[in-house]
Amino acid sequence: MARRLLLYDSAISGNAYKVRLCAAQLGLSLERVQLDLLKGEALAPEFKARNPFGRVPFLLDDDFALAESNAILCHLARGTPLFPAEPRRQSLVLQWMFFEQNQVEMGLAVARYYMKFRPDHPKAGAIVEQSRPRGIAALKTIEAHLDGGRRFLVGDYTVADIALFAYAHLAEEAGVPLADFPRVRDWIGAVQATPGFVAMEAP
Amino acid sequence: MARRLLLYDSAISGNAYKVRLCAAQLGLSLERVQLDLLKGEALAPEFKARNPFGRVPFLLDDDFALAESNAILCHLARGTPLFPAEPRRQSLVLQWMFFEQNQVEMGLAVARYYMKFRPDHPKAGAIVEQSRPRGIAALKTIEAHLDGGRRFLVGDYTVADIALFAYAHLAEEAGVPLADFPRVRDWIGAVQATPGFVAMEAP
């Protein structure tokens, strides 16, 4: 029987977009269920019963359930050049992906979410003020890394580039001008030029 | 020549403790350089020149440099039962480790840091107020997962347990009573009973 990949998805989520981009570049077909995060559908009891993390993306690979965008990228790309098997290179790919969840996502994604989708939230200003500097510092780290003449983060294009591209290319929506990060802009262009690239849909 | 593992370390960091615990259980000897994070030594130019992430833990495995605690755990444990090679199990281990960096670390570690080490910081109260609920929600997710009778997070003991144990067992220092999480407490006890377990040193 054909492998069935079912993605619980959201148009506003950069984390969910990572999975669509990776699947497209691997030639994998995804069935998609759209959740409206702004209406709290990821926390609704019928979804939480399937996915105790209560967030998207969430993948069903036949009967195998997996949460966390970057774990899903590794899962889909394992055995392909996008997730290198060579130990040191794989460790560096993971290094950038953990950095992404701790610093980029908790910086740029959080600031973007409150600026773009929750501007009337009573704490929006304070949350943006705390998260945006983390995102700017993360972009500086990426900029310095790319300054050595690298085209991608770890040798050839990998899931690390997909993971960090998702919110880096949305930095302006978090109030961070990419004009200050020329190497990051070049790298964003390089990701957009990879075979099979698909853009994030406008929510 | 013998493999040389040099850890840039900190007594106050749960992330650095993960690496010491994992190395001890794998029977690997670490040389250690202690940095005083409260004096900003991880951001000092001579350290940042080696480690552009400007944080600990940071590992030199002979000439191979690696940042990010959870990437270091995968690197050290690759090829051992602590980092399972079976694809689905490895994907679940990674799922919990990404969740750790995004929700547990950014919840409990941040709240603990400001409560314990930066109580006089002008934003300490606001930061704790934002991060602690994230940590509590993360512990609820772990509690619900363990409630199915699991002893460890993904089958037998893995680096996922090491990664999540680090800040979960310090939850009270983040102002979160573990009395509310009986399964998490049992799991903490199970981790502490694993062969070769070493406790975190008091800073």
Q: B80-121, pLDDT tens digit by residue?
A: 999 999 999 999 999 999 999 999 999 999 999 999 999 999
Which among B43, B68, B93, B132 is the top mutation candidate for probing chain A, defined by the most A β-carbons within 10 Å of its own β-carbon?
B68
Q: In the structure encoding, which two tokens stand for residue A170, read together?
A: 């949305």
**What pLDDT shows up at residue B127?**
94
Instruction: Verify that B43 and B103 share a domain, yes or no.
Output: no
Residue B78, SS3?
strand
Q: In this structure, are B58 and B130 located in the same domain?
A: no
Q: Both B95 and B181 in a single domain?
A: yes
Residues in A touching B162 (Cβ below 8 Å): none
Looking at the complex, report in whole angstroms how far the Cα of residue A191 sits from the nearest Cα belonging to chain B: 22
Residues in A closer than 8 angstroms to B101, CB to CB, are 98, 101-102
Q: How far apart are CA A34 and CA A22, in angstroms?
A: 18
Closest among A15, A40, A28 to A106, alpha carbons compared: A15
Residue range of the domain that includes B62: 5-77
Interchain pair A91, B105: CB under 8 A: no
Two tokens at B8? 């840039």
Helix (H) or strand (E) holding B66: strand B64-67
Q: What pLDDT does residue B201 have?
A: 82
Q: Is residue B202 part of a domain?
A: no
Residues B151, B165: Cα–Cα separation, whole Å: 13
pLDDT digits (tens, 9 = 90+) for B131-187: 999 999 999 999 999 998 899 999 999 999 999 999 999 999 999 999 999 999 999
Same domain, A130 and A184: yes
Residue B1: pLDDT band by 50, 70, 90 thresholds? confident
Sign of the CA dihedral running A94, B164, B171, B169: negative
Task: With respect to residue A150, please indicate whether it lies within any of the assigned structural domains.
Answer: yes
Task: Find the closest chain B residue to A61 by CA distance.
Answer: B88
Token pair 């990998």: residue: A158
Q: Looking at the predicted structure, is the pLDDT value of residue B202 above 90? A: no
For A81-138, write each residue's pLDDT tens digit. 999 999 999 999 999 999 999 999 999 999 999 999 999 999 999 999 999 999 999 9
Amino acid at B143: E
Please report which confidence band the pLDDT of residue A148 belongs to, taking 50, 70 and 90 as the band edges.
Answer: confident
pLDDT of residue B48: 87
A91:B69 CB<8 A = no
Q: Give the per-residue pLDDT at A115.
A: 97
One domain, residues A176 and A101: yes
Please tell me whether residues A43 and A98 are part of one structural domain: no
Distance separating alpha carbons of residues B112 and B97, to the nearest angstrom? 19
Same domain, A52 and A112: no
| Dist. CA B161–CA B83, nearest whole Å | 11
Banded pLDDT at B23 (limits 50, 70, 90): very high
Residue of B nearest to A50 (CA): B145
Domain check: are B97 and B147 in the same one?
yes
pLDDT of residue A117: 96
pLDDT at B39: 92
ipTM: 0.97
User: Which stretches of chain B sit within 8 Å of chain A by CB?
Assistant: 52-54, 64, 66-72, 74-75, 78, 87-88, 90-92, 94-95, 97-99, 101-102, 105-106, 123, 126-127, 130, 141, 144-145
Residue ending a domain, choose from A36, A56, A77: A77
On whether the CB atoms of residues A69 and A60 are closer than 8 A, the answer is: no
**Is A201 a domain residue?**
no
pLDDT over threshold 80, residue B7: yes
Q: Which of B56, B77, B98 is the last residue of a domain?
A: B77
* Residue B94 shares a structural domain with residue B171: yes
As for how many domains chain B has, the answer is: 2
B172 and B91 within one domain: yes
Chain B residues within 8 A of A18 when measuring between CB atoms: none
B68 and B95 inside one domain: no
A chain contacts of residue B78, beta-carbon cutoff 8 Å = 87, 90-91
Query: Across chain A, what does the average pLDDT equal?
Result: 96
The whole-chain average pLDDT of chain B stands at 96
- Structure confidence by residue, pLDDT tens digits, A54-97: 999 999 999 999 999 999 999 999 999 999 999 999 999 999 99
Which CATH number fits the domain that encloses residue B133?
A: 1.20.1050.10
What pLDDT, on a 0 to 100 scale, did the predictor assign at position A34?
A: 94
CB A35 within 8 A of CB A57: no
CATH number at residue B28: 3.40.30.10
